[in-house]
Amino acid sequence: MYTVVACIQPIVGRCLLDRHMRNDATAPIVASKTLHTLRNLCFISSRQGADAFQVYVFTYLTSLDIITRYPDACVRFLREAQPAVVPGQPNSPALTPLDQALTLFYLNAAEHLPLSLPTPAAETLVLTLATAHLSAASAPSFTEPPTSLTLPLYEAAHAAILSVLCCPQHATLTIALIPFYIDTLLASFPARISPRQFRLAFKTVIQIASPPFPIAASHPHLAETLLEMLHFRSATASTYPLPAEPGSAAHGASGDNVMNGEQQQPLPPVSEQTTLVLSLVDALPFLPLPIVEDWLTRTAEAMNAVVDPALREVVRKRFWDVLVSGEMDVERAAIGVAWWGIGGGREMVLLNQPAPLKGDDEAMMSGALGGNRLEASRL
């Protein structure tokens, strides 16, 4: 594998510099054949981080960059590399380790291509396989013993679906897929997906369902509906701390890896409940303006419902970070400042006080005149 990749790397490099190879006739063919070669070696490269050395990464990512400029070449490559075994189909055999490795390579490569694919191809070549793996893994009857590639394969299916959802030209697929995906996401957590990945997936979906994405205009209440689902789930979620999160083994997931010799920082403890509340906090910078203030209050209430002080402090720090670190744009930040100063936000976040009542504080019958209104009355 090392010898083959070392021989391919300069060929791919010439496709970037040599005018005889970077033309439209040669470059997509070289990129496609290179990806097929790497696919045939994935039974080795998919194990124990064997694809992490610099020559492999350059060859793999450069080939993907080249082929994404040619939509026809992307469709042709995916059709040629499509796995023969798809879970959930009638009379479909169980995935062998080789099938898992080939499917993992396919999904990781397909994650980079939806922006270059037409909508029908994105549905048949990416979504069909990815949703089949999510459905099979999330089914109650899923009893196959896990292998070393089970978790990376499941993560790759999530990443492939999110890559399709993020493409504006696939809005018709997004509208139909989001309810299934959110339902699968909630069913998968915390058994088959880590807290970090759950938060990233939910934040991405909220961002897609909010302006300026076109789905926000046709379905203006979708983002708030998803928040309601998460808020309802957090009220009954488990409060026990989850086990320490292991490093992700999925291809390309380097966010928590040791970089430049620096020691990886331990992740703060979280429970199922605090992960759901943290997902609400992460979604605040992307919400439509009319609902930002309301969800600032409801998120603070959900944070105060966390009983464990240590776990609640993790949420409070993240809440404070969202408010002051610049994640919100100018308009949402202005709403956040007003909510913090005169909307009771400071008392709720720092002092665990309940949300202030809107209007008069005293409870009265409908149509009654409050004390301040009575004084101002001219009757």
Cα 341 to chain centroid, rounded: 32
Looking at residue 247, what is its pLDDT?
A: 46
Q: Round to the nearest angstrom and report the end-to-end CA distance of the chain.
A: 91
Looking at residue 346, what is its pLDDT?
A: 87
Output the six-digit token pair for 247. Answer: 């490093």
Question: Are 372 and 329 within 8 A, CB to CB?
Answer: no
Looking at residue 11, what is its pLDDT?
A: 94
Residue 32 in domain: yes
Looking at residue 73, what is its pLDDT?
A: 95
Output the six-digit token pair for 34. Answer: 């290179």
Residue 177 in domain: no
Domain with 10, as residue range(s), is 1-67
Residue 41 in domain: yes
Residue 87 in domain: no
Question: Are 155 and 253 within 8 A, CB to CB?
Answer: yes
Of the CA atoms within 13 Å of residue 237, those in its CB half-sphere come to 29
Residue 24 in domain: yes
* Cα dihedral sign, 81-87-93-96: positive
Residue 144 in domain: no
* Cα dihedral sign, 134-138-144-146: positive
Residue 109 in domain: no
Q: What are phi and psi of 241, to 5 degrees?
A: -60, 140
Cβ partners under 8 Å of residue 325, min gap 6:
none
Number of domains in the chain: 1
Question: 31-42 in b/e burial notation, b at 16+ Cβ within 10 A?
Answer: bbebbeebbebb
Residue 19 in domain: yes
Looking at residue 354, what is its pLDDT?
A: 78
Looking at residue 379, what is its pLDDT?
A: 42
Q: Going residue by residue through the chain (379 aa), what tens digit of pLDDT does each one get?
A: 999 999 999 999 999 888 888 888 999 999 999 999 999 999 999 888 888 899 999 999 999 999 999 999 999 999 999 998 777 666 677 788 899 999 999 999 999 999 999 999 999 999 999 988 887 655 444 445 667 788 888 889 999 999 998 888 888 888 888 888 888 888 888 888 888 889 999 999 999 988 888 888 888 888 999 999 999 999 888 888 888 765 433 334 333 443 344 445 567 788 999 999 999 999 999 999 999 999 999 999 999 999 889 999 999 999 999 998 888 999 999 999 999 988 888 888 888 777 776 654 455 555 555 555 444 444 4
Looking at residue 256, what is its pLDDT?
A: 40
Looking at residue 163, what is its pLDDT?
A: 93
pTM, entire model:
0.78
